[in-house]
Amino acid sequence: MDRLTNPIRPYAWGSTTAIPALLGTAPTGEPQAELWLGAHPGAPSHLDRGPLDAVIAADPVRELGSRVVGAYGPHLPFLLKLLAAGAPLSLQVHPDLAQAREGYAAEERAGIPVDAPHRNYKDANHKPELICALTPFDGLCGFRAPAASADLIAGLGVDSLKPYVDVLHAHPEDAALREVLTAVLTAERTAVAETVAEAAAAATRLGGPYAPYAQLAHHYPGDPGVVAAMLLNHVRLQPGEALYLGAGVPHAYLDGLGVEIMANSDNVLRCGLTPKHVDVPELLRVVRFEATDPAVLRPEASPSGEEVYDTPAPEFRLSRHVLAADATPCDVTAPGPQILLCTAGRVTAGELTLAQGESVFVPAGDMAEISGANGGSGTLFRATVAI
């Protein structure tokens, strides 16, 4: 196995302190939003042997195993991250696999540069994802029942929002959610900004269930995404709890530190809370207009002590090991590639000792045993492929 050196992405919404605190480094004063662990060509991890994407490309069967290469080609099918939100991320949704392939092909035919700011599809892959909280973690996930959204919005007492309340009460679920989201995102921007300002003042005054939306308006004054966000469920995860987000589910992370894993894609369609491009027609094609009860995932323990976060995504499998000082070493050898990340204490992986924030890449089939290190305990997250 090989130690990894992992790049940090300095997105504006990132916390200035959370990732440095976990890594044991001094804050720079700049946002440190995501630590990427993987082989994404935009920011690959590095080994002593070179960038991980280049190492895999040189001998994909050796690094990934024949089953993974057969299923996903010569590419690591997942991307692991530490995500540290110091401010809300954009309200967004991801396409399913067919939509991604179709959208990517259409933009390629149109000759839109892949780095163009108005491009929707950076690749032809879908992006199911799982976020597991390391600290209390706030997010928005999936549509509320229309009647519940109507009651929440009506409670603000803002006259210009009353038409949305009426639609949410009067129409079937799919039609109501579609009509309101479309109206919010296509409304005249000056009128929207005035409505958001009035709603923000009411939300600040009322607090309680309105507090997350007051926070959004503080970070994104006048943004129509503030109203759109009131259609979504607010979720607070405690450390160790997780959320799985499939295709078409609108969501936004608001605050906290977590371990995130996803299919190796960068396809995002934004609904608001961003200065970036919002393609409303394409967004409406991708969003699933159905109310959901966001299911908070808790890990399922196996006899070996591995705690698995079960999802339907075949590209990845995330698990956690809480390793006691005196526990018998656990064999985690796997037929596919693995990334092991220590998030607390110290652990031993093979012959290497990992401190908090350190990680390794384990090629397919390589022997891997993990345990607490030097008489101490530690927590290790294990990312693999679910085949």
Residue 93 pLDDT: 95
Question: Hey, what amino acid is at 299?
Answer: P
**pLDDT beneath 50, residues of the chain:** none
**Could you tell me if 271 and 250 are in contact, meaning their C-beta atoms sit under 8 angstroms apart?**
yes
Residue 176 pLDDT: 97
Residue 218 pLDDT: 93
Residues belonging to the active site: 270
Q: Who contacts 364 (Cβ-Cβ below 8 Å, separation ≥6)?
A: 62, 63, 64, 65, 68, 334, 335, 336, 337
The overall pTM is greater than 0.95: no
pLDDT tens for 216-275 read 999 999 999 999 999 999 999 999 999 999 999 999 999 999 999 999 888 999 988 988
SS (H, E, C) 194-225: HHHHHHHHHHHHHCHHHHHHHHHHHHCCCCCH
Distance (Å, whole) CA 241 – CA 235:
11
- What percent of the chain is helix, strand and coil (3-state, nearest 5)? 30, 30, 40
**Rg value, the chain, Cα:** 22
